[in-house]
Amino acid sequence: MTTDQLVALLAAAVPAGTPLVLAGVGELLAERGGVLNVGVEGVMLVGAVVGFAAVVATAWPWLGVVAAVGAGALLGAGHAFLTVTLGAEQVTTGLALALFGTGLSAFVGKPFIGVPNPAPFRAMALPGLADVPVLGAVFFRQDALVYLSYALPLLVWWWLARTRPGLHLRACGEAPEAADAMGVNVAAVRYGAVVAGAALAGLAGGYLSLAYTPAWTENMTGGLGWIAIALVVFATWHPGRLLAGAYLFGAVDVLGFRAQLLGVQASSIVLRMLPYLFTLAVLLVITALRQAAGMPAALGRPYFREE
């Protein structure tokens, strides 16, 4: 592989990993608060179709972003009501959300199949930074939503580690009883984390239909929501490691498309399986090495003050 080919591969890995960054950070927020949302795939699909529909209707890409975020937040509020208020089993509720979102997106998206995006997000070079050797071509010739994804994990890390609301969120995920004793409204904090996390998952789906592949097709996420959940475990619930992991997964995904162009003789089916095989391998390694130590202690456990 030549230097130019490597740079091109890395430049493609960044946008490929962006939906994983957005959805992964959202899931990390929810899990840090103690709520597991395995319905990320369905939320991403609904965000993708709603954002695309908004752009088709208005030709304004940022309205598509708002619509995708709003759709995700609405689904997140429903998930929070079932898991936080009613104390429903979180895995079951999340699976129901994934199935519901998949079906709803297919139904809503039927009129938009084959419709071109009238105003997709385009790559734009950042003056000065785009001319930096290698790094400029990889990181600073992307679209606006990719640039947003650079800052998001860093802001979330700072918020979790350096602010009082972030510490309250972590306390709700580790020891909700202790947080409640300190005067923290556990239900409100968990609601906020789940809704914000689902909003980011909706944005991740919107990124797919508004920028990455500016069109709508059924099941266009292709399992990215499930990979985002696995990525949180891979990153041991740390936003910085999640960012690096997302680009690593993105590179593996892109490699599956470009391997034959690089002279690798392999079945296209096997190459498309690479990201999922890599996900399984990473989870097996983490399990074997017992590195899930960063998992919030109260993850998946409902909390009721009366108890």
Q: Mind spelling out the 3-state secondary structure of 233-291?
A: HHCCCCHHHHHHHHHHHHHHHHHHHHCCCCCCCCCHHHHHHHHHHHHHHHHHHHHHHCC
Domain residue limits, the chain: 3-288
What is the rounded distance in angstroms from the CA atom of residue 53 to the CA atom of residue 110? Answer: 11
Is 1.10.3470 the CATH classification of the domain at 3-288? yes
Strands (E), the chain: 124-125, 141-142
pLDDT of residue 254: 84
What is the rounded distance in angstroms from the CA atom of residue 65 to the CA atom of residue 50? Answer: 9
Left, alpha or beta for 119 (phi > 0: left; psi -120 to 50: alpha)? beta
Q: Is the dihedral of CA 76, 117, 253, 274 positive or negative?
A: positive
Average pLDDT by stretches of 10, the chain with 307 residues: 81 95 97 97 98 97 98 98 96 96 97 94 93 93 96 96 96 96 95 98 98 95 93 91 91 74 61 74 69 79 82
Residue of 192, 168, 164, 191 lying closest to 180 (CA atoms)? 168
What is the rounded distance in angstroms from the CA atom of residue 246 to the CA atom of residue 20? Answer: 6
pLDDT of residue 261: 56
Burial of 261 per CB tally in 10 Å (0-12, 13-18, 19+): exposed
Contact assessment for residue 13 and residue 250, using Cβ atoms and an 8 Å cutoff: yes
**What are the structure tokens assigned to 128, written together?**
């000065």
pLDDT of residue 266: 60
**What are the structure tokens assigned to 66, written together?**
């708002």
pLDDT of residue 103: 97
Crossing angle for the helix pair 3-32 and 144-162, nearest 10 degrees? Answer: 40
**What are the structure tokens assigned to 178, written together?**
């202790």
pLDDT of residue 276: 75
pTM: 0.93
